[in-house]
């Protein structure tokens, strides 16, 4: 055979190969054979090498006879890659139609641009099935040349569930979707889309949010089989899942309080300690297994019995839980460091539990009584030495302004410093001049009354006398005083600061999630130990019993809203709530100042001049000291 003939033969073989039907492969086998990671999706582009837990994730999710798969996961477990591979596998290897629902239209289009398109470019088999895609823009759907349609849609609109059928529906970040879209919940609507398929499949994955408000939580609870990734303890051979043990924990992933670098895993069976150097060995030995001992083994479920291993019937629905500690690229010390830095900050703890542990955050119902707070007032006046900066929250009433001045220390420990009422019509300038003078001058230091500490950030509620508030903020120039607007929508972040000024009013309007703020405040008020997050109050006339009645004037109640149960705050009859509102705004102002980087130096004023000192040293030395419970003194001597 001459060379040209051999070349022709080789070309012919290659084109025939492309058309040849592949023998059935499990998704993990298919991925090992075909998948290449793109620059956009991986820090290590190139051939895809599944980490042990990803093999089961792929194969269970892609199994023809398991109609429902629920995945509760933290960030940093490579789940987005898993989803992209699953989508490609369903289309190319199984000739199925898919719809992926993302939290909104924007993210749906990003999924196409940042995940699917690079995969088409870099994975040869996918490129062959989408010939001629080139630089064409892919919007909501992609037609493959085996006749299948790949869709990526926003899951928050009921419209996107109408008249679009598929064999496979995948939810990416299900918990970010509303639990009711008017016509039913997204899972129900998604399942309806697969009803015409001979092999309907629903895959829902999420980083969890709040317990009691989650579709993944309820679907996980009702799954026929729930699996975790269980590893073999190198010391005793017991099969255990890696659980979070926390600071000074006795088993699971633990670290010595204050020393995240001591991260290690303590076997719950034999209490042997295993450092991070064991992580790869542990994960390599792992398998997906239920509490009852049913485990996934190369395409089937097995269970050990007296007479050996028995194949188990396939469940209709499987729930899988995985978190960052299992990822071989994730340092355990980093997980512990994030936990350590979260301190008592409720928002940070929730973010840590959701995104690092893959756990639902449990909302607490808190009612606060004014009496114990009133009784625990302490002897201090002016600005105590531990205060690093001051913020203020301001409420506008018909005939007055009310301002709460709060000092902040390490770990957001706070000291209520002053509660001032400026009598006067807020439509006139005088009352604002008095307020602004106080903000600029600030309050005298406790140990040297000649020195004052000015307010670094103040937020004034613009819900009442709106135009007047905007005009005042404009005239003072936003450096200290900013307008804010309370948002009562459940789930609104504590603060969001717009980059641009509101075009109409020419001021930036800070949005304050009041539910979130009250959650945070009530959680702080409930703390008994002095330290990060703790709130101090002084014994003085401004902090009288009425102050505490107003501070605790709302009840946290559970109500049904839009078909779901939510927590909200309701004012107790007959009580005013200005102190509560101004406390929330002062806390929000602290968060705004933190974002602006203004809490990094301690500013004081002496003889008309500003003195700026870096905080670094002081705070780090304080952070290493375990907070000692100070005895608070008060007028009863208790």
Closest alpha carbon to 518 in 488, 562, 538: 488
Q: Give the whole-angstrom CA distance, residue 638 versus residue 633.
A: 6
| Binding to Zn ion in span 74-133, by CB under 5 A | none
Closest approach, Cβ 391 to Zn ion, in A, equals: 50
**Which element (helix H / strand E) includes 231?**
strand 225-232
* DSSP string covering 122-154: H-HHHHHHTTT-TT----SEEE-TTS-EEEEEE
Cα separation, 275 vs 286, whole angstroms: 17
Nearer to Zn ion, 266 or 584 (CB): 266
Q: Which stretch binds Zn ion (CB under 5 A): 227-235, 274-282, 451-459, 589-597?
A: 227-235
The nearer residue to Zn ion, 231 or 263, going by C-beta atoms, is 231
Beta strands in 237-286 (DSSP E): 239-241, 244-247, 252-256, 259-266, 273-275
Q: Which is nearer to Zn ion, 30 or 278 (CB)?
A: 278
Closest to Zn ion by CB, 325 vs 584, is: 325
* Nearer CB in complex with Zn ion: 27/233: 233
Shortest CB 238 distance to Zn ion, Å: 5
Which range binds Zn ion by CB under 5 A, 99-107, 270-278, 281-289, 619-627?
A: 270-278
Contacts of 172 (CB under 8 A, 6+ apart): 80, 83, 100, 101, 102, 103, 111, 205
Binding mask 231-260 for Zn ion (x = CB under 5 A): --x-xx-x----------------------
496 binds Zn ion (CB under 5 A): no
Indicate which single residue of 250, 270, 572, 611 sits in contact with Zn ion (rule: CB under 5 A). 270
Which residue is it, tokens 């970040």? Answer: 173
Q: Give the Cα separation of 27 and 328 in Å (integer).
A: 21
Interatomic CA distance for residues 115 and 547, integer angstroms:
54
Based on CB atoms, which residue is closest to Zn ion, 202 or 325? 325
Q: 162 or 291, CB closer to Zn ion?
A: 291
Shortest distance, position 265 Cβ to Zn ion, whole Å: 10
Task: Give the tokens for residue 454.
Answer: 């000015």
Please, which residue, 238 or 633, has the CB nearer to Zn ion?
A: 238
Measured from the CB atom, the residue of 233 and 514 that comes closer to Zn ion is: 233
Using the rule CB under 5 A, give the single segment among 221-229, 262-270, 473-481, 606-614 that binds Zn ion.
Answer: 262-270
Residues 284/285/287/292 CA torsion (nearest 10 deg): -160
In the complex, least distance from residue 556 CB atom to Zn ion, rounded to whole angstroms? 42
Instruction: State the Cα–Cα distance between residues 31 and 93, nearest whole angstrom.
Output: 11
CB of 283 to Zn ion, least distance (A): 16
The least CB distance from residue 257 to Zn ion, in Å, is 24
Q: What share of the chain is helix, strand, coil (3-state, %, to 5)?
A: 35, 30, 40
User: Looking up tokens 């009584």, which residue turns up?
Assistant: 369
Q: For Zn ion, which stretch binds (CB under 5 A), given 23-31, 267-275, 461-469, 588-596?
A: 267-275
Q: How far is residue 556 from each of residues 206, 290, 416, measured CA to CA in Å? A: 28, 37, 23
Minimum CB–partner distance for residue 269 and Zn ion (Å): 4
Distance in Å, CB of 61 to Zn ion, minimum: 31
SS3 457: strand
Choose the binding region for Zn ion from 94-102, 225-233, 303-311, 593-601 (rule: CB under 5 A).
225-233
Nearer to Zn ion, 180 or 235 (CB): 235
To Zn ion, the closest distance from the beta carbon of 386 in angstroms equals 45
Which of residues 41 and 235 has its CB atom nearest to Zn ion in the complex?
A: 235
Smallest distance from Zn ion to CB 242, Å: 12
Q: Which of 166, 267, 325, 507 binds Zn ion (CB under 5 A)?
A: 267
Span near Zn ion by CB under 5 A; candidates 229-237, 503-511, 534-542, 578-586:
229-237
CA–CA separation, 63 and 168 (whole Å): 11
Contact indicator for 151, 141 with CB cutoff of 8 Å: yes
Question: Measured from the CB atom, is 269 or 466 closer to Zn ion?
Answer: 269
Give, as one character, the DSSP assignment of residue 209. -
Cβ-Cβ contacts under 8 Å for 164 (sequence gap 6 or more): 99, 151, 153, 193
CB of 237 to Zn ion, least distance (A): 7
Reported residue count of the chain is: 638
**CB closer to Zn ion out of 235 and 492:** 235
CB of 289 to Zn ion, least distance (A): 16
Which pair of tokens denotes residue 350? 């929730």
Which position among 42, 157, 269, 634 is part of the footprint of Zn ion (CB under 5 A)?
269
The region of 157-165, 182-190, 230-238, 409-417 touching Zn ion under the rule CB under 5 A is 230-238
- Stretch of 75-83, 266-274, 430-438, 574-582 lying at the interface with Zn ion (CB under 5 A): 266-274
Cβ–Cβ < 8 Å for 253, 332: yes
- Of 3-22, binders to Zn ion (CB under 5 A) are none
| Cα 119 from Cα 45, distance rounded (Å) | 11
What three-state secondary structure class fits 332? helix
Nearer to Zn ion, 251 or 334 (CB): 251
Min CB(266)–Zn ion separation in Å: 9
Q: How far apart are CA 310 and CA 437, in angstroms?
A: 80
Residue 91 has a CB neighbour count (10 Å cut-off) of 24
CA distance 160 to 108: 11
Tokens linked to 208:
């969890």
Size of the site for Zn ion (CB under 5 A): 7
Crossing angle of helices 52-62 and 27-34, in 10° steps, is 120
From the CB of 291, what's the least distance to Zn ion, in Å?
18
CA 90 to chain centre: 30
- Distance of closest approach, residue 241 Cβ to Zn ion, in angstroms: 13
Residue 97: phi and psi, rounded to 5, are -90, 140
**CB closer to Zn ion out of 240 and 353:** 240
List interacting residues with Zn ion (CB under 5 A). Answer: 233, 235-236, 238, 267, 269-270
């Amino acid at each position: 055979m001459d060379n040209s003939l051999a070349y022709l033969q080789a070309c012919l073989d290659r084109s025939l190969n492309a058309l040849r039907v592949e023998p059935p492969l499990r998704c993990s086998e298919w991925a090992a054979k075909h998948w290449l990671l793109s620059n956009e999706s991986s820090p290590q582009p190139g051939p895809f090498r599944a980490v042990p837990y990803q093999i089961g994730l792929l194969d269970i999710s892609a199994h023809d006879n398991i109609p429902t798969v629920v995945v509760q996961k933290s960030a940093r477990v490579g789940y987005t890659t898993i989803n992209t591979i699953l989508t490609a596998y369903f289309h190319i290897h199984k000739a199925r139609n898919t719809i992926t629902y993302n939290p909104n239209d924007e993210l749906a289009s990003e999924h196409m641009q940042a995940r699917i398109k690079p995969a088409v470019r870099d994975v040869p088999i996918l490129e062959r099935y989408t010939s001629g895609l080139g630089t064409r823009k892919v919007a909501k759907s992609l037609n493959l040349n085996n006749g299948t349609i790949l869709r990526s849609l926003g899951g928050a609109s009921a419209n996107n569930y109408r008249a679009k059928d598929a064999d496979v529906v995948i939810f990416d970040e299900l918990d970010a979707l509303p639990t009711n879209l008017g016509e039913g919940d997204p899972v129900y609507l998604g399942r309806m889309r697969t009803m015409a398929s001979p092999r309907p499949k629903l895959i829902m994955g999420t980083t969890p949010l709040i317990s009691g408000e989650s579709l993944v939580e309820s679907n996980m609870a009702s799954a026929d089989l729930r699996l975790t990734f269980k590893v073999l303890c190198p010391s005793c051979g017991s099969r255990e899942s890696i659980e979070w043990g926390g600071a000074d924990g006795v088993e699971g992933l633990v670290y010595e309080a204050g020393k995240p670098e001591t991260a290690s895993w303590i076997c719950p069976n034999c209490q042997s300690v295993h450092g991070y150097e064991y992580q790869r060995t542990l994960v390599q030995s792992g398998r997906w297994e239920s509490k009852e001992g049913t485990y996934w083994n190369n395409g089937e479920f097995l269970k050990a019995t007296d007479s050996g291993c028995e194949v188990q019937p396939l469940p209709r629905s499987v729930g899988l839980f995985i978190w960052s500690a299992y990822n071989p690229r994730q340092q355990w010390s980093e997980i512990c460091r994030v936990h350590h830095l979260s301190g008592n900050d409720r928002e940070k703890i929730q973010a840590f539990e959701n995104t690092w542990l893959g756990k639902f955050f449990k909302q607490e119902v808190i009612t606060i009584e004014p009496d114990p707070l009133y009784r625990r007032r302490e002897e201090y006046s002016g600005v105590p030495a531990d205060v690093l900066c001051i913020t203020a929250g301001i409420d506008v009433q018909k005939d007055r302004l009310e301002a709460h001045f709060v000092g902040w220390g390490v770990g957001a420990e706070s000291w209520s410093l002053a509660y001032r009422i400026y009598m006067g019509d807020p439509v006139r300038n005088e009352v604002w001049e008095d307020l602004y003078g106080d903000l600029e001058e600030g309050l005298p230091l406790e140990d040297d009354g000649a020195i004052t500490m000015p307010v670094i950030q103040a937020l004034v509620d613009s819900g009442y006398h709106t135009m007047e508030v905007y005009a005042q903020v404009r005239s003072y120039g936003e450096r200290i005083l900013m307008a804010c607007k309370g948002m009562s929508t459940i789930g609104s972040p504590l603060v969001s600061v717009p980059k641009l000024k509101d075009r109409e009013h020419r001021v930036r309007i800070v949005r304050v999630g009041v539910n979130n703020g009250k959650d945070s405040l009530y959680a702080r008020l409930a703390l008994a130990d002095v330290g990060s997050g703790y709130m101090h109050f002084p014994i003085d006339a401004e902090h009288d019993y009425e102050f505490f009645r107003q501070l605790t004037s709302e009840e946290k109640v559970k109500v049904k809203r839009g078909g779901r149960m939510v927590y909200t705050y309701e004012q107790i009859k007959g009580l005013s709530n200005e102190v509560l509102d101004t406390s929330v705004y002062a806390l929000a102002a602290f968060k705004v100042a933190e974002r602006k980087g203004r809490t990094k130096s301690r500013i004081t004023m002496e003889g008309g001049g500003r003195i700026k000192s870096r905080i670094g040293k002081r705070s780090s030395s304080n952070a290493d000291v375990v907070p000692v419970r100070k005895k608070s003194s008060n007028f009863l001597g208790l």
